[in-house]
Structure 1
Amino acid sequence: MPDVIFNGPEGRLEGRYHHNRAPGGPVAIVLHPHPQQGGTMNNKVVYTLYHVFSRRGFSVMRFNFRGVGRSQGTFDNGQGELSDAAAALDWLQAVNPDAGHCWVAGFSFGAWIGMQLLMRRPEISGFISVAPPANRQDFTFLAPCPSSGLIVHGDSDDIVPEASVAKLAAKLSAQKTITVDHTVIPGANHFFSEHLDVLGKTVDGYLGANMDRIRAAT
């Protein structure tokens, strides 16, 4: 799990990277929650997602948005952070030029950024969106959502109400060209305290069920 430093739009960005040496293996980036609310790449949900991807054979990166940790720059209300995510994906693809499949995962604010990146990068073919802030951010840009994926939420989330995420998931699921799975974890709060193992198993199960599709695209 080596530390990496790569160039972002506003200076250097720091990350952690796991490399899978299998030729043509899939790649993924994992995006952390709100930088102004304590979000970093070491968030426990982000850490859990990162390790699920690595165990499933992905080359995977998590990184700090601008102004967090050793990453240079200052918070930019999402626009700059989206550019940071694009730079991270550029770096990941440069290191893995033969990767045949690309995924994006995010938690809370990171889920919002990840879904925007999904709309801008056609090579992204799958997503994991954990507790997307559907009550705080506008997701109408997903019209239509270009890729299938998984939305995970906790039914005891007191920051993002379950109903708002269910409405988003239902809207995306109504599209005929993709499949969006929506899983609600009983008892889990916004940060999945005491439920990280269930979150990890949920995402791992989803990736496992889709590995044939992943391999077919690599």
Structure 2
Amino acid sequence: MPEIIFNGPEGRLEGRYQRAKEDNAPIALILHPHPQFGGTMNDKITYEMYHMFARRGFAVMRFNFRGVGKSEGEYDQGQGELSDAATALDYLQSLNPAAPFAWVGGFSFGAYVGMQLLMRRPEIVGFISVSAAANLFDFSFLAPCPSSGVVLHGTGDKICPPELTRDVMAKTRTQKGRRIEFQTIEGADHFFSQHEEELMKAAAAYLDRRLEEPPEGHLFTD
């Protein structure tokens, strides 16, 4: 799990990168919760998603948004963090030029940034979004959503009731052949305290099912 430092839009960004055994392995980028509320790449759910993809043969990276840990810069209301994520994906692709497709995983604020990123990057063919807070962030940019993915939410989330996020995702248009699934974890709060294992089982089951299907979206091109 080597530490990496790469150039971001506002200075150096700190990350962790796990190489894949195969040169043509897919890639995954994992995005952490809100920087102003203690979110870092070492958040437990971010960490577990990182290893979930690594165990399935992905080349995977997680990193600290600007102003977090050793990453330079200051919090930028989500727009700068989206630029950080795009730069991180560029860097990950440069390390894996033969990768056929990409996934993005995000937790809370990271889910919001990740779903914006996939709107801009056709190589992202799947996503796993945890605690996507539809009452805190505007997801109207999903119009239509170009990739299939799953949104996982706790039924006991006091920060964002699951019904709000479910309704937003249900109303979101998708491109032909794409589907956004919504799943709840009974009794879990926004941070999945005491429910991390159930969360990761649901995430892994979705990922495994998708990996058995033909990949959607575009392959990387030079």
Same fold judged by TM-score > 0.5? yes
Q: CA deviation at 1:4?
A: 0.5
Q: Is the 8 A contact 1:9 1:87 kept in 2?
A: yes
**In 2, distance between residues paired with 1:117 and 1:142?**
11
Q: Answer whether contact 2:143 2:174 (CA < 8 A) is retained.
A: no
Cα shift at 1:175: 6.1
CA distance in 2, matches of 1:173, 1:7: 35
Taking a change above 3 Å as real, the CA distance of residues 215 and 149 of structure 1, as seen in their structure-2 partners, is closer
Letter in structure 1 aligned against 2:138: D
Q: Give the corresponding residue for 1:86.
A: 86
**1:53 equivalenced with 2:61 (yes/no):** no
Which letter does structure 1 place at the counterpart of 2:200? G
SS at match of 1:181: strand
Which whole-Å CA distance do the structure 1 matches of 2:210 and 2:71 have between them? Answer: 34
Q: Name the amino acid aligned to 1:150.
A: V
**Partner Cα distance (1:23, 1:153) in 2:** 34
- Per-residue deviation, residues 172-203 of structure 1 (Å, max 9, x unmatched): 37765311121100011111111111111111
In the comparison of the two structures, how many residue pairs are matched? 218
What residue number does 1:200 align with?
200
Query: Structure 2: how far apart are the matches of 1:62 and 1:19?
Result: 12
Give the AA of the match of 1:53: F
The answer to whether the Cα contact below 8 Å between 1:101 and 1:214 also exists between their aligned partners in 2 is no
- How large is the Cα RMSD of the aligned pairs? 1.6
2-structure distance, mates of 1:3, 1:172? 37
Matched residue, 1:35: 35
Alignment pair present for 1:106 and 2:135: no
1:21 is displaced (CA, Å) by 2.0
205 and 173 in structure 1: CA distance in 2 versus 1, 3 angstrom threshold: farther
* Contact 2:146/2:174 (8 A) holds in 1: no
Cα distance in structure 1, aligned partners of 2:192 and 2:78: 23
Tell me what 1:209 maps to. 209
Per-residue CA distance 1:74-123 (angstroms, 9 max, x = gap): 00000100000001000100000000010111011110000110111111
The corresponding residue for 1:96 is 96
Please report the TM-score for the alignment, with normalisation by the length of structure 1: 0.96
Q: Which moved more, 1:170-179 or 1:129-138?
A: 170-179
Partner-residue secondary structure (3-state), 1:81: helix
**Which amino acid in structure 1 is aligned with residue 31 of structure 2?**
L
**Could you tell me which residue of structure 2 aligns to residue 160 of structure 1?**
160
Could you tell me which amino acid in structure 1 is paired with residue 61 of structure 2?
Answer: M
**What percentage of residue pairs aligned between the two structures are identical?**
57
* Separation in structure 2 between the aligned mates of residue 113 and residue 93 of structure 1, nearest angstrom: 18
Shift of 1:168: 1.9
Partners in 2 of 1:174 and 1:212 — Cα distance? 21
The 2-side partners of 1:15 and 1:162 are apart by 31
The answer to whether the 8 A contact 2:28-2:104 is kept is: yes
Q: Which residue in the other structure is 1:147 paired with?
A: 147
In structure 1, the residue matched to 2:67 is 67
